[in-house]
């Protein structure tokens, strides 16, 4: 049978491995870390369990598809539940708002808490659904780099409805036109951060994102986010995929239009003999793939040099108390959102009043924290790494986060922190090879961003393919899973 090598066991690499194994390939996955999942991994600290990266789970059917594809019952591997509330929002003036998954419940909440007519919200969600329908077949399920994508009925539907995508307006502008209350504008502007973009630059097209959360739903995996990685690795292994951990791919050896060998190293300076494969799929960030594994190949500079998405500064805190006013997902908003994004994307630094995202899985999975305690995952949107003084930024931001949370919750948080771990853009880059520590590959601030991501195949090497958050269709778990489908469908 044919052989395939996959560079990286991120979620897209694992999904690609499963799809190839189902097609009958013998698959080797090489992973530099000692563990699978890349950004989608987890760890334990002093009796607390944490998911390291993603915390919001949407489109679970894309995970289930992989089990079905392999003839398995997803229920035997992976369980999850739909959330009744998607997020609790807090402002410094003590306004609170719960975003209910039920649309009418949410619309009612918006009317009573913010005085915004319910029909404004319902119209916004309907618009989000309409935008999603136009883009999904065109941009999400196919390669943009094959002519067949552009000449079919779905494409025609897309062309006819193109004005509805509002590519020439910013997300913030569209939301200001929709809503009276600036708090609701802020709430919906936040969806730009779901792909690491700036609501004051990204086109209103990105208003498709709320559709995922409100119309399709937000979910919680029974085992936490790590359950996605673990269950898919289990499936892959059952299908005969071989994972090689602590094994970094150091070179893709080329000959003419083909990759003829995959060379690996194990960190001790020893280099292996290159091993030949029929197909190679890189789940390594595409910038790093070209710069480090293919330094002598022609570099697709225009694509590689696109501005990257934002990164994140994450504090993992074991907290010695319970807070019933908090839920699984919580946002404590900054009081000047425009200034916050100006800091992140233009000044490339962190504002002193950052929006705090607080995720607490022990709300749904009590054994993630000792009795009477909670596991806090705090994410601050941060600029990507351009050589800032991170040590100083982290120290300053830690104080700002503690102050903001203490003010909002009415108790001093600092003495409640039992243990701590921190993840910054430099570590994200080191652990996953993401260029500049970006969470989502290229940013989508440019209205042509979809066309400036690398294709899922190589134009130079016939047996080289790309999957993961840095290539088409983009970052985030659902899109990474789709990239694996698009790439392996091309084979
Ligand atoms: P990655 O996770 O980037 O992994 C790549 C893997 O390849 C790594 O394991 C790396 O070690 C390995 N590798 C790289 N180079 C080599 C090499 N040369 N040899 C061997 N192995 C190599 N998404 C959501 O959907 N919802 C969220 O709520 C969300 N929140 C996030 C919060 C944080 C803090 C972070 C960091 C990300 C978040 N994301 C979220 C984004 C999501 O995590 C990513 O888009 C997705 O996990 C990326 O998967 P990937 O397949 O591109 O691979």
pLDDT in the model for residue 268? 64
Same domain for 117 and 65: no
pLDDT in the model for residue 269? 65
Name all contacts of 165-168 with Cβ < 8 Å and 24+ positions apart.
165/131, 165/134, 165/135, 165/203, 165/204, 165/205, 166/131, 166/203, 166/204, 166/205, 166/207, 167/203, 167/204, 167/205, 167/447, 168/203, 168/447
For residues 154 and 137, the answer to whether their CB atoms sit within 8 Å is yes
Write the pLDDT tens digit of every residue in 194-220: 999 999 999 999 999 999 999 889 999
For residue 28, the number of C-alpha atoms closer than 13 Å in the C-beta half-sphere is 18
Look at ligand 1, atom 18, and give the residue with the nearest C-alpha.
249
Is 324 within the bounds of a domain? no
SS3 239: coil
Tell me the CA–centroid distance for residue 236 and ligand 1, in Å: 18
Same domain for 74 and 113: no
pLDDT in the model for residue 167? 84
Ligand 1 nearest atom to the CA of residue 39, by list position: 2
Is 259 within the bounds of a domain? yes
Same domain for 152 and 206: yes
Tell me the CA–centroid distance for residue 403 and ligand 1, in Å: 31
Q: Nearest-CA neighbor of 50 among 62, 42, 59?
A: 42
Tell me the CA–centroid distance for residue 114 and ligand 1, in Å: 37
Is 56 within the bounds of a domain? no
Same domain for 240 and 162: no
Name all contacts of 170-176 with Cβ < 8 Å and 24+ positions apart.
170/199, 170/200, 170/201, 170/202, 170/203, 170/204, 171/199, 171/200, 171/202, 171/203, 171/204, 171/206, 171/207, 172/199, 172/200, 172/338, 173/204, 174/204, 174/207, 175/124, 175/199, 175/204, 175/207
Same domain for 107 and 208: yes
Look at ligand 1, atom 22, and give the residue with the nearest C-alpha.
8
Q: Rounded to whole angstroms, how far apart are CA atoms 480 and 465? A: 14
> 216, 248, 279: which is the final residue of a domain?
216
334: how many CB neighbours lie within 10 A of its CB?
Answer: 24
175 Cβ inside 6 Å of ligand 1: no
Same domain for 165 and 247: no
Widest Cα–Cα separation across the chain: 67
SS3 280: strand
Look at ligand 1, atom 31, and give the residue with the nearest C-alpha.
54
Burial class (CB in 10 A: 0-12, 13-18, 19+), 160: exposed
Is 331 within the bounds of a domain? no
Same domain for 257 and 108: no
Mutation choice for ligand 1 from 382, 432, 440, 479, CB with most ligand atoms inside 8 A: 432
pLDDT in the model for residue 314? 98
Is 391 within the bounds of a domain? no
Mutation choice for ligand 1 from 10, 33, 192, 478, CB with most ligand atoms inside 8 A: 10
30 Cβ inside 6 Å of ligand 1: yes
Burial class (CB in 10 A: 0-12, 13-18, 19+), 423: buried
228 Cβ inside 6 Å of ligand 1: no
Same domain for 481 and 464: yes
Is 95 within the bounds of a domain? no
Interhelix angle 182-189/118-135, rounded to 10 degrees, is: 20
Q: What is the pTM of this model?
A: 0.96
Q: Which residues contact 101 (CB under 8 A, 6 or more apart)?
A: 82, 83, 84, 85, 86, 214, 217, 218
Same domain for 189 and 111: yes
Q: Which residues contact 106 (CB under 8 A, 6 or more apart)?
A: 99, 100, 121, 214
Structural domain tally of the chain?
A: 2
> 198, 216, 234: which is the final residue of a domain?
216
Same domain for 126 and 189: yes
Write the pLDDT tens digit of every residue in 40-91: 999 999 999 999 999 999 999 999 999 999 999 999 999 999 999 999 999 9
Same domain for 173 and 241: no
Q: Which residues contact 309 (CB under 8 A, 6 or more apart)?
A: 195, 196, 197, 384, 438, 439, 440, 441, 442, 443, 444, 475
Record the tokens describing residue 122, joined without a space: 């319902």
Q: Rounded to whole angstroms, how far apart are CA atoms 138 and 158? A: 7
Tell me the CA–centroid distance for residue 173 and ligand 1, in Å: 31
State the complex-level ipTM.
Answer: 0.99
pLDDT in the model for residue 399? 98
SS3 410: coil
Residues of the chain with pLDDT below 70 are 150, 266-270
What are φ and ψ of residue 315, in 5° steps? -110, 125
Same domain for 185 and 124: yes
For residues 327 and 342, the answer to whether their CB atoms sit within 8 Å is no
Mutation choice for ligand 1 from 12, 15, 53, CB with most ligand atoms inside 8 A: 53
* Pairing relationship of beta strands 48-51 and 26-30 according to DSSP bridges: unpaired
> 216, 237, 252: which is the final residue of a domain?
216
Is 405 within the bounds of a domain? no
Tell me the CA–centroid distance for residue 271 and ligand 1, in Å: 25
Q: Which residues contact 9 (CB under 8 A, 6 or more apart)?
A: 17, 29, 31, 33, 36, 37, 38, 233, 243, 245, 283
Burial class (CB in 10 A: 0-12, 13-18, 19+), 349: middle
What does the angle CA 156 – CA 213 – CA 398 come to, to the nearest 5 degrees?
A: 125
Domain harbouring 456, CATH code? 3.50.50.60
Is 435 within the bounds of a domain? no
Residue span of the structural domain in which 174 resides: 102-216
Tell me the CA–centroid distance for residue 7 and ligand 1, in Å: 13
314 Cβ inside 6 Å of ligand 1: yes
Write the pLDDT tens digit of every residue in 260-304: 999 998 666 667 899 999 999 999 999 999 999 999 999 999 999
């Amino acid at each position: 049978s044919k052989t395939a090598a996959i560079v990286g066991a991120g979620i897209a690499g694992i999904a690609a491995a499963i799809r190839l194994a189902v097609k009958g390939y013998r698959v080797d996955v090489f992973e530099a870390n000692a563990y699978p999942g890349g950004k989608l991994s987890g760890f334990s600290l002093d009796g607390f369990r944490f998911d390291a990266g993603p915390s919001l789970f949407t489109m679970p059917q894309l995970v289930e598809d992989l089990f079905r594809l392999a003839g398995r019952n997803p229920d035997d591997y992976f369980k999850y539940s739909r959330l009744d509330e998607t997020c609790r929002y807090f402002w410094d003036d003590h306004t609170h708002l719960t975003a209910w998954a039920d649309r009418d419940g949410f619309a009612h909440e918006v009317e009573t808490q913010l005085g915004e007519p319910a029909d404004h919200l319902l119209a916004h969600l309907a618009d989000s659904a309409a935008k999603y329908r136009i883009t999904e077949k065109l941009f999400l399920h196919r390669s943009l780099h094959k002519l067949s994508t552009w000449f079919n009925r779905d494409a025609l539907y897309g062309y006819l409805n193109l004005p509805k995508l509002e590519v020439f307006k910013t997300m913030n502008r569209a939301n200001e036109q929709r809503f009276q209350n600036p708090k609701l504008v802020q709430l919906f502007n936040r969806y730009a951060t779901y792909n690491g973009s700036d609501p004051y630059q990204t086109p209103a097209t990105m208003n498709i994102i709320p559709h995922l959360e409100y119309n399709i739903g937000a979910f919680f995996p029974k085992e936490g986010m790590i359950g996605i990685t673990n269950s898919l690795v289990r499936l892959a292994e059952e299908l005969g995929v071989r994972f090689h951990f602590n094994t970094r791919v150091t070179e893709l050896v080329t000959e003419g239009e083909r990759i003829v060998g995959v060379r690996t190293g194990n960190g001790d300076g020893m280099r292996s003999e290159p091993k030949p494969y029929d197909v190679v799929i890189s789940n390594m960030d595409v910038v790093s793939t070209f710069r480090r594994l293919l330094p002598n190949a022609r570099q697709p500079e225009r694509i590689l040099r696109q501005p990257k998405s934002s990164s994140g500064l994450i504090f993992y805190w074991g907290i010695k108390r319970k807070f019933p006013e908090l839920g699984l997902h919580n946002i404590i908003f900054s009081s000047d959102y425009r200034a916050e994004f100006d800091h992140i994307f233009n000044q490339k630094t962190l504002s002193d009043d950052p929006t705090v995202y607080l995720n607490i899985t022990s709300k749904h999975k009590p054994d993630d924290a000792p009795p009477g305690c909670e596991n806090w995952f705090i994410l601050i949107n941060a600029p990507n790494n351009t050589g800032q003084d991170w040590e100083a930024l982290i120290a300053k931001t830690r104080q700002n986060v503690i102050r903001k949370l203490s003010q909002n919750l009415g108790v001093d948080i600092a003495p409640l922190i039992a243990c701590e771990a921190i993840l910054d853009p430099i570590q994200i880059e080191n652990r996953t090879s993401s260029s500049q520590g970006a969470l989502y590959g290229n940013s989508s601030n440019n209205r042509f961003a979809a066309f400036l991501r690398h294709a899922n195949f190589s134009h130079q090497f016939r047996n080289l393919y790309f999957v993961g958050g840095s290539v088409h269709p983009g970052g985030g778990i659902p899109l990474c899973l789709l990239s694996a489908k698009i790439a392996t469908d091309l084979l």
